[in-house]
Amino acid sequence: NAGVMQNPRHLVRRRGQEARLRCSPVKGHSHVYWYRQLPEEGLKFMVYLQKENIIDESGMPKERFSAEFPKEGPSILRIQQVVRGDSAAYFCASSPQVEQYFGPGTRLTVT
Amino acid sequence: DAKTTQPPSMDCAEGRAANLPCNHSTISGNEYVYWYRQIHSQGPQYIIHGLKNNETNEMASLIITEDRKSSTLILPHATLRDTAVYYCIVTGSNSGYALNFGKGTSLLVTP
């Protein structure tokens, strides 16, 4: 069985560009979570989604960040007008119920 | 979510049992204790979780005290590949099982 897949694994964007991060959950998992890990810091929860619904976005910055988990296809974390402070590792996790299984992450570098 | 307290670092000799403690004195009745680990900069790996009974799986054992205010993760025969940061996290349905990663315990397994 394939685990959680994230792509791209590495993404370089210039300031002001958009970044789109994709997460394909484990087949059959209907819960997706996104976390961000800034350099030398711990992981911070961003958003929790179920199919077509945002359940909890309390950890998401109010501006420039959005997430979706459509009925078909991967979950997308979108960052508009990226700034250097957005440089981080972004991890998604999927869950069948309570335990979460993490992907390998996307390393975003903003130049 | 209940807060957790873990020692910042521990050492363990290869082949020995690693016992990682965690205090969670403010845990509420419907919250679970989860353990994850992160090896270097990889995605976190789920280890085990429990509510009030002790749990065991192929990776580890989880011992939860009767009052549920503390727990211990036991890696029965630590190997060098178990060197990682270990996170004890308490969460439940009220927070959608979102994970609040603290600083964790950095476990170093030595030859």
pLDDT, residue A25, reads 95
Residues B62 and B10: their CA atoms lie apart, in Å, by: 17
B105 to chain A: nearest residue by CA? Answer: A42
Q: Is A111 a residue whose pLDDT tops 70? A: yes
Q: Choose the closest CB to A98 out of B42, B49, B104.
A: B49
The dihedral through the CA atoms of A15, A17, A23, A24 has a sign that is: negative
The single-letter code of the amino acid at A13 is R
Q: Are A10 and A106 in contact (CB under 8 A)?
A: yes
| Distance between CA atoms of residues B18 and B91, nearest Å | 24
Higher pLDDT among residues B97 and B38, named by residue? B38
Rounded Cα distance, B40 and B53, in Å: 31
Q: What pLDDT was estimated at residue B29?
A: 86
If you average pLDDT over residues A75-97, what whole number do you get?
95
pLDDT category of residue B20 using cuts at 50, 70 and 90: very high
Average pLDDT over residues A56-80: 95
Q: Does B102 touch chain A (CB under 8 A)?
A: yes
Q: Do A42 and B95 touch (CB under 8 A)?
A: no
Quick one: pLDDT at residue B92?
85
pLDDT classification of B96: cutoffs 50, 70, 90: confident
Of all residues in chain B, the one with the smallest CA distance to A6 is: B43
| B94 near A CB under 8 A | no
- Between A and B, how many CB-CB pairs are < 8 A? 53
3-state SS assignment for residue B80: helix
Cβ–Cβ of A101/B49 closer than 8 Å?
A: no
Residues of chain B with C-beta less than 8 angstroms from the C-beta of A103: 43
Q: List, for residues B55-92, the tens digit of each pLDDT value.
A: 999 999 999 999 999 999 999 999 999 999 999 999 88
Is the CB of B41 inside 8 Å of chain A's CB atoms? yes
Segment B34-59, tens digit of pLDDT: 999 999 889 999 999 999 989 999 99
Which pLDDT does position B2 carry in this prediction? 59
Q: Which residue has the higher pLDDT, B42 or B1?
A: B42
For chain A, say whether B26 makes contact (Cβ under 8 Å): no
Average pLDDT on A91-107 reads 93
Q: Is B13 in CB contact (< 8 Å) with chain A?
A: no
Strands A5-7 vs A106-110: parallel, antiparallel or unpaired: unpaired
Percent of chain A predicted with pLDDT > 90: 84
State the nearest Cα–Cα gap between A104 and chain B, in angstroms: 5
Q: Is B39 on the interface with A (CB under 8 A)?
A: no
Q: What per-residue confidence (pLDDT) applies to B100?
A: 87
Instruction: Note the pLDDT tens digit of each residue in A6-54.
Output: 999 999 999 999 999 999 999 989 899 999 999 888 899 999 999 889 9
* pLDDT > 70? residue B1: no
